[in-house]
Copies of this chain bind each other. A is one copy, B any other.
Amino acid sequence: MRSAAVVGTGLIGTSIALALRGRGVTPHLLDADPQAARLAADLGAGVVGAPRTPVDLAVIAVPPQHVASVLKEHQLSGLAHDFTDVASVKARPRREAAALGCDLTRYVGGHPMGGREVSGPLAAQGDLFQGRPWVLTPGADVRERTVDRARALAELCGARPVLMEPDRHDRAVALVSHAPHLVSSLLAARLLDGEEAQLRLAGQGLRDVTRVAAGDVDLWTDILGSNAAAVADVLAEFALELGSVVDALRELGESAPERHPAGRARLAAALTRGVRGRARLPARTPAGPGLRLSGVAAGN
């Protein structure tokens, strides 16, 4: 992968462009908002505007809802030989791309697992994906070279490429990212009911549980809408257990808890499952450089 374009110079697109610049590739930057592309270029992320001849790989870095139409547009304009995207949802954009008649032999879905609550090119960081998984969801028709180029992109960004079925990816991110985001938002929304004096008692725990709730509303509406069924499945299970716990609390609230051993046991069981679930989270990724070097070696 020797030449690249980034379509959409928000947080993710600009971060990828910065990473490529750091590895000697100067991406062409395009954005529906020309000022955003200029800003990214000013930050050192590449050059504004389409190339004269097709680049090796174009990265469609727009919200999930727009991936298919932007892919179609730039396949028609001949922007690149191969295409990938970075949307957090993979099945629906692919179906939409097929429906629009995109060339699926030259497109592979991608999802770099990194981000920040802040958005826009100014928040971009060239090391945003360092050591993180970067999921690729190749379809049956895609040519090998397209996948190789997307894999090279991930490695140039310091990420670990992971191959996965689109539906499996979507169920995974519903579980580990989308449903948690919505739960965090609904919990943060409860604070609108609190008095000032009550909120002053908040500690680091609440701050952590609600941190992701500060994320961009438009982008997350799009993400959640595009992965709606999988997110609903996770939340429906969550809601069932929540209902059972609220019942137990109602019972315990009526008189002394020690008179309701069954309610206490249900509460303790829910908390124990939480401790066990939390313990399943993998340890934080170790420092990035080693991983990046192994990526370089693989590229040689």
Contact = CB atoms under 8 A, between A and B. Distances in A.
Contacts of A213: 271, 274-275, 277-278
A263 B203 contact: no
Contact of A204 (B181, B239, B297): B297
Interface stretch (A53-61, A76-84, A119-127, A241-249): A241-249
Instruction: State the oligomeric state as a number of copies.
Output: 2
Interface residues of A, number: 113
A176 B282 CA distance: 28
A228 interface: yes
A273 B185 contact: yes
Contacts of A225: 252, 257, 263-264, 267
B65 A258 contact: yes
Given A197-B164, A232-B246, A281-B210, A203 B189 contact: no
A294 B252 CA distance: 33
Interface of A: 65, 96, 113-115, 132-133, 135, 162, 164, 168-169, 171-173, 175-177, 179-195, 197-215, 217-218, 220-222, 224-226, 228-232, 234-239, 241-243, 245-246, 249-254, 256-258, 263-264, 267-268, 270-282, 284, 289-290, 293-294, 297-300
B185 A274 contact: yes
Contact of A270 (B189, B241, B275, B276): B189
Contact of A252 (B228, B242, B250): B228
A188 B277 contact: yes
10 contacts: A169-B201, A176-B194, A179-B190, A186-B241, A205-B211, A206-B281, A209-B209, A209-B212, A210-B274, A215-B275
A229 B250 CA distance: 6
Given A175-B194, A250-B232, A275-B213, A65 B257 contact: yes
A119 to B, nearest CB: 12
Nearest to A220: B271
